[in-house]
């Protein structure tokens, strides 16, 4: 059996490189780079393609999540046995997925809480309540 453990492969390096060549062309590597460029570039192109596929997969999943949310919001309208005949509200803003967006959202929520507490403290001050009710 060719290529099995313990037996040497009968393929030459030329055959191996020729078999891999169409794959690297398909992921955007040029003829010149594949045959005459730095050998490390093939690894970088392969890893870049894996990242691209992972990103496409994540984007498809995220799109499915948005569709799921939209269908879920409309479910009461299409369910004949539902007591609620009005559609639920769809997401008001995009789903937070990046670290920067998460930090910004946390900052906004912190500012809302600070404003609420300040308004509450001002209301108590207006009623004459200070520092623990004394």
Predicted local confidence at residue 4, as pLDDT: 61
Judge whether residue 45 has pLDDT over 60: yes
Give the other-Cβ count within 10 Å of 21's Cβ.
14
Verdict on whether the full-model pTM lies above 0.85: no
How confident is residue 76, by pLDDT bands cut at 50, 70 and 90? Answer: confident
DSSP-derived 3-state class of residue 20: helix
Give, to the nearest 10 degrees, the angle between helix 13-26 and helix 40-78: 40
Residue 45, C-beta contacts closer than 8 angstroms, at least 6 positions apart = 24, 27, 28, 29
Report CA Rg, the chain: 30
Segment 39-64 mean pLDDT: 95
How confident is residue 99, by pLDDT bands cut at 50, 70 and 90? Answer: confident
Predicted local confidence at residue 121, as pLDDT: 83
Q: What is the mean pLDDT of the chain?
A: 86
Classify residue 5 by its DSSP letter.
T
Segment among 11-15, 39-43, 49-53, 85-89 with least mean pLDDT: 85-89
In angstroms, the Cα distances linking 5 to 1, 17, 60 are 9, 21, 39
Segment 5-34 mean pLDDT: 90
**% of the chain with per-residue pLDDT over 70:** 90
Classify residue 93 by its DSSP letter.
S
**Domain spans in the chain, listed from the N-terminal domain onward:** 96-134
CA 63, distance to chain mean position in Å, is 10
Classify residue 95 by its DSSP letter.
P
């Amino acid at each position: 059996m060719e290529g099995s453990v313990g037996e040497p492969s009968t393929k030459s390096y030329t055959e191996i490189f020729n078999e891999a060549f169409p794959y690297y062309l398909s992921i955007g590597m040029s003829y010149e780079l594949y045959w005459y460029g730095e050998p490390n570039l093939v690894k970088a192109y392969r890893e870049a393609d894996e990242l691209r596929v992972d990103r496409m997969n994540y984007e498809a999943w995220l799109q499915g999540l948005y569709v799921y949310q939209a269908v879920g919001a409309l479910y009461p309208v299409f369910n004949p046995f539902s007591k609620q005949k009005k559609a639920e509200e769809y997401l008001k803003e995009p789903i937070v997925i990046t670290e920067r967006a998460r930090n910004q959202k946390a900052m906004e929520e912190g500012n809302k809480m600070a404003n609420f507490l300040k308004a509450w403290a001002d209301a108590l001050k207006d009623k004459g309540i200070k520092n623990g009710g004394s």
